[in-house]
C-alpha cells in the first residue's frame, strides 16, 4: 500500500489507457500524482476518481508535442503504412509526439529531478521498436528512438540518482481494438490472454518504487511473450510436420 509514499509521480498521457491505470495504482501506493494529458477533461476525471478513492491527484493540460495541430491519438500506433507509402506529414507528427515529446518532457523534468536528488523515469515504448513489421514504420521508428533516449538518459544521469527504463508493451486492451487484431495477437502470445492496463500499471509502480533501485537502462518487455519467440517459424515447422504426416523432414 505504501510503496510510493513520499514520492511525486508525473504521469504523462494518463487520461486513458495504461497511463490512467498506472496513475491510479501509484496513488493507491501513496504517491502524489500529477496527471498530465492533452485531454484535460479526461485527466481531471481520473484525478477526481483518485481523490474519491482517498488518494492525492491533480490534473494538468499538456501537449507534449507543443504543436496544436497534433491529433490526440497520434501517441498510438495509427500509422498503418510502410516506408514507401508513408505520408511525411504523418511521420513528422508521429515523431513530434512519440519522440520529440518525450525529449521535451525529459528536458524539463530531469533538471527538477536532479535538484531533488534523482528519481525514476519510465518511458512507454513498444515491442515493435525491436522487430520490424510490414507496416507502422513511422510508429516503430519513433519508439526505437525512445529506446535510445532511455539508454542515453540512464547513462548520462545515473550517477546523479536518475534511473531511466523503458517498458515495451505488446498488445494491451486499451482504446479501440478490433476483435480480429486481439484474436490474432493472442494466438501468437505465449500467454493465453492479451494484456490489460493493470498489467502495465503493476510494472510502472515497481519501476517507480525503490524496490527497483538497481534496475536502470533497461528495455523491459511486457508483452505476453509475443516478442520472445518466432511464431512464424513455429507455424512453418508445424505446417511442414503436418504435410509429412507428423514427421518433420
Ligand X SMILES: NC(=O)c1ccc[n+]([C@@H]2O[C@H](COP(=O)([O-])OP(=O)(O)OC[C@H]3O[C@@H](n4cnc5c(N)ncnc54)[C@H](O)[C@@H]3O)[C@@H](O)[C@H]2O)c1
Q: Which residues are catalytic?
A: 139
Please state the closest distance from residue 225 (CB atom) to ligand X, in A: 14
Chain centroid offset of residue 4 CA: 20
Q: Which C-beta is closer to ligand X: that of 69 or that of 84? A: 69
CA distance 61 to 13: 10
3-state secondary structure of 81: coil
Which residues lie near ligand X (CB under 6 A)?
Answer: 12-13, 15-19, 37-39, 42, 62-65, 70, 72, 74-77, 97, 101, 124, 126, 169, 171-172, 174-175
| Cell representation of residue 205 | 509502480
Please state the closest distance from residue 205 (CB atom) to ligand X, in A: 16
Q: Which C-beta is closer to ligand X: that of 74 or that of 219? A: 74
CA distance 115 to 112: 5
Q: Which C-beta is closer to ligand X: that of 150 or that of 174? A: 174
Query: Looking at the chain, how many residues does it have?
Result: 249
DSSP conformational letter for 186:
H
CA distance 104 to 101: 5
Residue 171 near residue 182, CB atoms below 8 Å: yes
HSE, CB side, 13 Å, CA atoms: give it for residue 95.
Answer: 11
CA distance 162 to 59: 24
Q: Which C-beta is closer to ligand X: that of 181 or that of 241? A: 181
Nearest residue to ligand X, by Cβ distance, number only: 17
Please state the closest distance from residue 155 (CB atom) to ligand X, in A: 22
Please state the closest distance from residue 132 (CB atom) to ligand X, in A: 15
Amino acid at each position: 500500500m505504501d510503496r510510493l509514499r513520499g514520492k511525486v509521480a508525473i504521469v504523462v498521457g494518463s487520461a486513458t489507457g495504461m497511463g490512467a491505470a498506472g496513475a491510479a495504482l501509484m496513488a493507491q501506493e501513496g504517491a502524489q500524482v500529477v496527471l498530465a494529458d492533452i485531454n484535460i477533461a479526461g485527466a481531471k476525471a481520473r484525478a477526481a476518481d483518485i481523490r474519491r478513492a482517498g488518494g492525492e491527484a491533480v490534473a494538468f493540460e499538456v501537449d507534449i508535442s507543443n504543436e496544436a495541430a497534433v491529433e490526440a491519438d497520434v501517441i498510438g500506433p495509427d500509422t498503418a503504412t510502410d516506408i514507401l507509402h508513408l505520408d511525411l506529414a504523418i511521420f513528422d507528427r508521429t515523431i513530434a509526439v512519440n519522440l520529440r515529446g518525450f525529449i521535451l518532457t525529459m528536458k524539463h523534468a530531469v533538471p527538477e529531478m536532479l535538484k531533488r536528488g534523482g528519481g525514476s523515469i519510465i518511458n512507454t515504448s513498444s515491442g515493435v521498436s525491436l522487430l520490424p513489421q510490414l507496416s507502422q514504420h513511422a510508429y516503430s521508428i519513433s519508439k526505437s528512438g525512445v529506446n535510445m533516449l532511455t539508454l542515453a538518459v540512464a547513462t548520462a544521469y545515473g550517477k546523479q540518482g536518475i534511473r531511466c527504463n523503458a517498458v515495451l508493451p505488446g498488445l494491451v486492451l486499451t482504446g479501440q481494438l478490433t476483435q480480429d487484431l486481439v484474436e490474432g495477437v493472442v494466438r501468437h502470445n505465449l500467454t493465453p490472454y492479451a494484456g490489460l492496463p493493470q498489467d502495465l500499471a503493476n510494472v510502472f509502480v515497481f519501476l517507480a518504487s525503490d524496490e527497483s533501485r538497481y534496475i536502470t537502462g533497461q528495455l523491459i518487455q511486457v508483452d505476453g511473450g509475443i516478442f520472445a519467440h518466432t511464431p512464424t517459424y513455429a507455424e512453418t515447422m508445424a505446417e511442414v510436420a503436418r504435410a509429412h504426416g507428423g514427421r518433420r523432414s
